[in-house]
Amino acid sequence: MSSSSVPSSDAARDFLAEAEEIVEELGTQLADLADMAEKGTLEPDLLNAIFRGAHSLKGLAGMFGFGMIAEVAHHAENLLDWLRMGKVSLTTEVLELLFASAELLTSLLRACVDGTLDQHQAAATAHAAAISAYLNPTAPTVEIPLLEQLGLSESLMGALTEYEEHRLKENCSKGRHIYVVHASFELATFDQGLSQVTDILKSHGEVISTLPSVGENMETHIDFDLLAGSDRNEQEFAALLKDLDVSIQVAGSAGAVSQSEPAPVSAPAVPEVEAAAIFPDKAGIPVKLPVLEGATASPDEPLTAKSMSRTVRVDIGKLDELMNIVGELVLAHSSISSIANRMRAEGFSRMAIDLGKAAKGLERRLTDLQKGVMDIRMIPVGQLYEKMSRIVRKVSREQGKKIELKMYGAETELDKLIVEDIADPLMHIIRNAIDHGIESPERRLAAGKDERGTVRLSSFQKGNHVVIEVEDDGGGIDIEKIKQKALSKGVVQDIGGMTDREALDLIFMPGFSTADTITDISGRGVGMDVVRNNIAAVSGMVDIETRLGQGSRFTIVLPITLAIIKALIIFCAGRTYAVPITSVVESLILEPADIKTVEGKEVINLRDQTLPLLRLERLFKIDRIGSNPGDQYVVIVGSAEKRLGLVVDDLLGQQDIVIKPLGTAFKALRGISGAADLGDQRTILVLDAGGIIGETMRSGGA
């Protein structure tokens, strides 16, 4: 189940995994940046983090021999560097360039996997040119405050990067006070103590640099000098840190630091801070502030070798393997259970009961294990939301439409593989909603709607499924127009008596498009047929509801995971099969009298709908031994919007199965997605509802 197109070398895989992570993060951070820009607040830390992302990507790509990616990252990095250094300002155009960079990098990474990197050379060149146009030296920058006047120690100044120097200047020119906070922490837990201090400093200003230094107890402790800028005067500043064991020094004459002001009455416990310039001779007298219990690490705590990073990156293939083993264990358990049952039936009652109990205990643990492995694969769909909000931003900008994207249920969890596979179809549905659904602001106003259109993206879990809905309040789908289009394109020959639902289904036909001009916003014109196929590939279904003038709703129903699935075990003509429960709509007892024949095809009428029937033995060309199968059942399966009734002899119940591929020799086989082991050493075929329906439609029915 692991993807096969990833380059074989481990190094390249490492690179791709990390690069993907960086680019994804970049997208999220850019969205945050855009929000901030809208509000007029700009967080230098965020900008610097974005810069660092581009910078790391450039370095990585260069090292791993992906020159084009390094080049694109380099240009993005340049633009970001100018931004963070205050040489260009964050205009809408610059933001768009940054978004475009992130998108280009995403497609380049994808191209690495597909081996189609060469095709993007033109895009990369255009990107470079677009950015270079922005990086023209502008008017000389504002007068730079003389950092020497701050009287900071050489060791502190010497370790400042170019960017940190810039931030120091910025803080000075904003008239902020510059402080050096000195703190000493136990080696084992310094990061906790340090973050306590930085959190306070950041909420009242900015931490410009964190310099580890050497203190009195250098064997057991590590000291830090934190260079910070803040609007607070020294008394206020000291009050902020009064609970921590730190000393504060005020840097020279950066602004109007009044040294004679009395300590504020509100903080009587704080001794007056003696301000002093921090010359290398450390003439300043640091004031030891009162220590609060628990503020520093307990000295008893042992040194720890634990890594600070709490995450592990795992190839999903390894999880698949693990899941397979869990699946095997589940099967082994079922055979133990059935042995226990047989023993009980044959009269070994005492041992049978003990064995049964042991098997129950095993089952509970197995369930935990299975859930544990599943949980690792699960990621919140919120990760998709971030991508989607970027796309909405981009498309609405391009189309001059005003759109509000409302997102719900970002915490809903879904298998990582499904999340990845669903990203493209979801993107196309959302693009369609903006492109064809939401009207222009003028038309919306004329129709008495808010000029700002709304796209609602919501996800929730429903039993063993996750439902993702995309709803817009646009113009809805004109069913008459669809019918006419289908007729003129020759997709159908006759539209007489076609129901609305059937007409809507036409949208999913290959080569169908209702837009008068095909807008190729995605860079590749992908039709809804591809969207449906992609969703069906992860055993999902998609449905449309629409109301003319009021909007449309696309509902995607997905299984939570593909690793272990629940299946309905069916029996037909002497053979056993599994049907993934996600494809089963319902099942019912077949009354032979209900079967009607339309154009030689068997159908039944179900709640005023005609449901075509398929006899499995005919599909697989199996001779039935004995003529009368007795009572039969209809298992109604669905793929996308299509429904089909499978006629089977018996329903054997539900079971968790692990689908195993049949191998390339059977690849051409339609209607079977793989094989699965039942607990009793039997291997059965797993039916692929989408394939069977497709096959049936193609061959003109059962």
List residues near other proteins by CB under 8 A.
11, 14-15, 17-19, 49, 52, 55-56, 58-60, 62-65, 70, 74, 77-78, 81, 155, 158-162, 187-188, 190-191, 194, 209-214, 218-219, 222, 303, 305, 307-309, 313
CB–CB of 398/440 below 8 Å?
no
Q: Least distance from C-beta 62 to other proteins, angstroms?
A: 3
Q: Least distance from C-beta 74 to other proteins, angstroms?
A: 7
Nearest to 350 by CA among 337, 364, 340, 338: 340
Nearest to 164 by CA among 227, 224, 225, 212: 227
CB–CB of 32/46 below 8 Å?
yes
CB-nearer residue toward other proteins: 310 or 682: 310
CB-nearer residue toward other proteins: 162 or 599: 162
Q: Which residues of 495-508 are buried (b: 16+ CB within 10 A; e: fewer)?
A: eeebeeeebbbbbb
Q: Least distance from C-beta 69 to other proteins, angstroms?
A: 12
CB-nearer residue toward other proteins: 52 or 566: 52
CB-nearer residue toward other proteins: 211 or 240: 211
CB-nearer residue toward other proteins: 8 or 161: 161
CB-nearer residue toward other proteins: 56 or 107: 56
Work out whether the CA dihedral 142, 143, 147, 149 comes out positive or negative: negative
CB-nearer residue toward other proteins: 179 or 190: 190
Q: What is the largest distance, in Å, between two alpha-carbon atoms of the chain?
A: 107
Q: Least distance from C-beta 377 to other proteins, angstroms?
A: 21
Site of tokens 């790391």: 56
CB–CB of 552/453 below 8 Å?
no
Work out whether the CA dihedral 528, 533, 535, 540 comes out positive or negative: positive
Work out whether the CA dihedral 288, 291, 295, 301 comes out positive or negative: positive
CB-nearer residue toward other proteins: 135 or 369: 135
Amino acid at 65: G
Q: Least distance from C-beta 86 to other proteins, angstroms?
A: 16
CB-nearer residue toward other proteins: 21 or 591: 21
CB-nearer residue toward other proteins: 40 or 158: 158
Q: Least distance from C-beta 48 to other proteins, angstroms?
A: 9
Nearest to 437 by CA among 474, 478, 470: 474
Q: Least distance from C-beta 159 to other proteins, angstroms?
A: 4
Q: Least distance from C-beta 158 to other proteins, angstroms?
A: 6
- CA triple 58-62-67, angle to 5 deg: 100
Calculate helix-pair angle for 382-399, 92-114, nearest 10 degrees: 120
CB-nearer residue toward other proteins: 22 or 384: 22
Beta strands in 268-369 (DSSP E): none
CB–CB of 506/491 below 8 Å?
yes
Work out whether the CA dihedral 537, 541, 545, 551 comes out positive or negative: negative
Q: Least distance from C-beta 131 to other proteins, angstroms?
A: 14
Q: Least distance from C-beta 162 to other proteins, angstroms?
A: 5
- CA triple 371-373-377, angle to 5 deg: 105
Q: Least distance from C-beta 54 to other proteins, angstroms?
A: 10
CA dihedral (688, 694, 700, 702) in degrees, to 10, reads 10
CB-nearer residue toward other proteins: 222 or 374: 222
CB-nearer residue toward other proteins: 188 or 430: 188
Nearest to 570 by CA among 661, 681, 649: 649
Q: Least distance from C-beta 677 to other proteins, angstroms?
A: 37
Tokens in use for 154?
């050489």
Tokens in use for 379?
């990621």
Residue 537 C-alpha from the chain's centroid: 19
Nearest to 458 by CA among 390, 391, 406, 404: 406
Q: Least distance from C-beta 248 to other proteins, angstroms?
A: 20
Q: Least distance from C-beta 315 to other proteins, angstroms?
A: 13
Q: What does 360-387 look like in DSSP terms, one character per residue? A: HHHHHHHHHHHHHHHHHHEEETHHHHHH
Please give the backbone phi and psi of residue 424, each rounded to the nearest 5 degrees, phi first: -65, -50
Burial of 647 (0-12, 13-18, 19+ CB in 10 A): buried
CA distance 190 to 195: 8
CB–CB of 266/238 below 8 Å?
no
CB-nearer residue toward other proteins: 156 or 422: 156
Nearest to 560 by CA among 410, 386, 428, 381: 381
CB-nearer residue toward other proteins: 150 or 239: 150
Q: Least distance from C-beta 387 to other proteins, angstroms?
A: 22
- CA gyration radius, the chain: 33
